[in-house]
Chain A
Amino acid sequence: MSLDYVKFSGGFEKFMPKEYRDMVEHGPFGKKISVSQMGSFKEILEEHPMCAGCAMTLFIRLAIIAFPNPEDTITVGTAGCGRLAISQAAIPFVYGNYGDQNGVASGLSRGLRLRFGDKPKDVVVIAGDGGTADIGFQQVLHSWFRKERFTTIMLDNEVYGNTGGQESGMTNRGAVLKMAPLGKKFEKMDMLQMAKVAGCAYVATVVPNNPRRVESVIKKAVLIAREVGSTYIQAYTSCNIEYAIPTDKVMEDAKNVENDRYQFTEYVSEEAKQYLAERYGYKEFLPKPAAPAAAIPNKA
């Protein structure tokens, strides 16, 4: 892996499809690209079979643009809708059995460190709420307790979308779904709190209706995971099919849900703050100058 893998093989250039040629010549590899340039460079994500208007797709699109070094990134996924798009991107994608993703990523990230030493290779797990909080729960928690250095992103559509609407641990209490007709009886799992208890160095919630924020959160999470420890992003990525959201109202729903229960939150450990400030120049995490001594009240 390096910029070498986005080159034409000798003699093949004229036979490659246009999309491939555009990727080599106008893709984001080796460049600093941001969401503000969307529509003017060839994206790593290609066409894919996810549903029209799916917010999860938009989030995946933004996340891939936000990867700090896409040429040195490997995504790991599992069963669920997201893999249908993540696998159609021009970066390596590892597909584990349902729920295995954090175990696979643990081995992968350790192996890459043995093979490539200090040069960072970023491992990013992207999986659904069922894959993360239910089926993969054990491996997710263990990877966090072990401080495995990779990023875990939960695509939280609050349902098993790919298999037609069963409730997941992340579904809200009372939600009625096609295959949960009596309504969910338990509360939504608090994976954010669990991530903090398990020692994640960075924990954030986002909604895709703020592309710049998605970009900033992904960058921080990936950079921190290079050296400091596990990082976790929980993104609300509605399923317009299972929650019957008209596709032209998906962003309105995202806004409402953001105001209701998915406000932006960000936890950064002290070590991670220092690392971001010193290594990557994040000014907001530089130590604050000591406050001037409080003025002595004028007793006159």
Chain B
Amino acid sequence: MYLVADIDVSICAEKSCKLCTQYCPEANTIQYSEEMGKSKGFKYGSAYVAVDRCKGCAQCVWVCDNMAKNNAIKMIMIDQLPLAAVTDNIRYDEKSTVAVLSNPMIVIGN
């Protein structure tokens, strides 16, 4: 098993600074969604991770903890994540993206 980044929507959607989206070395891995936060009653949208692209470097954790000072990202074993975004389930909208969350292990194992 291996670690991937997981963003706590309830923390991120309060701040929604988008900082981590600019610091992940991998393209289209930390995505941003208006729906992710607002549909759950939070103030703003939230960042989220396409786990199939995440290489587990934890650079985003450092950025969220030390630059944004929001502590919203944790590294989690991929099989411990109940639901996650994967590239196949991400749709692009005008200003953000929409992800249908699914069990990352089932999707990856398909």
Q: How far is the CA of A45 from the CA of B24 in the complex (A)?
A: 13
Number of interface residues of A (CB under 8 A): 35
> Which residues of B54-95 are within 8 A (CB) of A?
55-59, 61-63, 66-67, 87-88, 92-93, 95
- Tell me if A192 counts as interface (CB < 8 A to partner B): no
Q: How far is the CA of A128 from the CA of B27 in the complex (A)?
A: 20
* Contact assessment for A251 and B62 in the assembled complex, using a CB-CB cutoff below 8 Å: yes
Interchain nearest-CB distance for A240 vs B (Å):
8
Q: How far is the CA of A42 from the CA of B29 in the complex (A)?
A: 10
- Tell me if A250 counts as interface (CB < 8 A to partner B): yes
Q: How far is the CA of A37 from the CA of B26 in the complex (A)?
A: 15
Interface size class of B (residues with CB under 8 A): 20 to 34
Known interface pairs A40-B31, A252-B66; A57-B92 also in contact (CB < 8 Å): no
- B contact residues vs A (CB 8 Å cutoff): 18, 21-28, 30-32, 47, 53, 55-59, 61-63, 66-67, 87-88, 92-93, 95-97
- A contact residues vs B (CB 8 Å cutoff): 18-19, 22, 25-26, 35-47, 50, 52-55, 57-58, 61-62, 209, 211, 247-252
Q: How far is the CA of A38 from the CA of B24 in the complex (A)?
A: 10
User: Which of B32, B47, B57, B92 neighbours the largest number of chain A CB atoms within 10 Å of its CB?
Assistant: B57
Give B93's nearest chain A residue, CB to CB.
A40
Pick the residue among A38, A45, A248 that contacts B57 (CB under 8 A): A248
* Contact assessment for B22 and A38 in the assembled complex, using a CB-CB cutoff below 8 Å: yes
Q: Which residues of B contact A50 (CB under 8 A)?
A: 25
User: Which of A40, A55, A57, A211 neighbours the largest number of chain B CB atoms within 10 Å of its CB?
Assistant: A40
Q: Which residues of B contact A43 (CB under 8 A)?
A: 27-28
* Contact assessment for A58 and B30 in the assembled complex, using a CB-CB cutoff below 8 Å: no
Give A240's nearest chain B residue, CB to CB.
B57
Give B22's nearest chain A residue, CB to CB.
A211
Interchain nearest-CB distance for A215 vs B (Å):
9
